[in-house]
Amino acid sequence: MAFTAEDLRLIDDTGEVRIETRDGDRVYRTVIWVVVDDGEVFVRSVRGESGRWYQRALRDPNVALHVGGNRTAATAVPATDPESVARTTEALRSKYPKSQSLNSMVRDEVLDTTLRLDPA
């Protein structure tokens, strides 16, 4: 299964989305940044490994994105290889160039929290 072109366009065009994660029976929705590069969806924890949504996504990779009123199921996959990290960093720089928070998202300390979201 793949994200549809419409899913990718909506994700790419939306500044902030909500990621749905789980801890047992509890469901959480956290506002995050998301980027699309060459048809793949990437996220990164601004709080590094201490980000709670990130910790939950590692424990249970069955997540979902809430974008524009739509819920899109996904699987969170660590993407810490140099190519994925660089692609995500460049996509963040391109999508959020004027944000005061950009530098926080591209710090060395958070690069290893890059996740690729595969369609579920």
- AA identity, residue 81: D
Residues 6+ apart with CB under 8 A from 28: 20, 21, 22, 52, 53, 56
Structure tokens at 80: 């810490």
The CATH code of the domain at 5-119 is 2.30.110.10
Q: What is the pTM of this model?
A: 0.96
Encode pLDDT of 8-23 as tens digits: 999 999 999 999 999 9
Q: Residue 24 pLDDT more than 80? A: yes
For residue 51, CA distances in Å to 7, 13, 55, 79 come to 25, 24, 6, 16
Encode pLDDT of 60-118 as tens digits: 999 999 999 999 999 999 999 999 999 999 999 999 999 999 999 999 999 999 999 99
Indicate the burial class of 99 (C-beta count within 10 angstroms; 0-12, 13-18, 19 or more).
Answer: middle
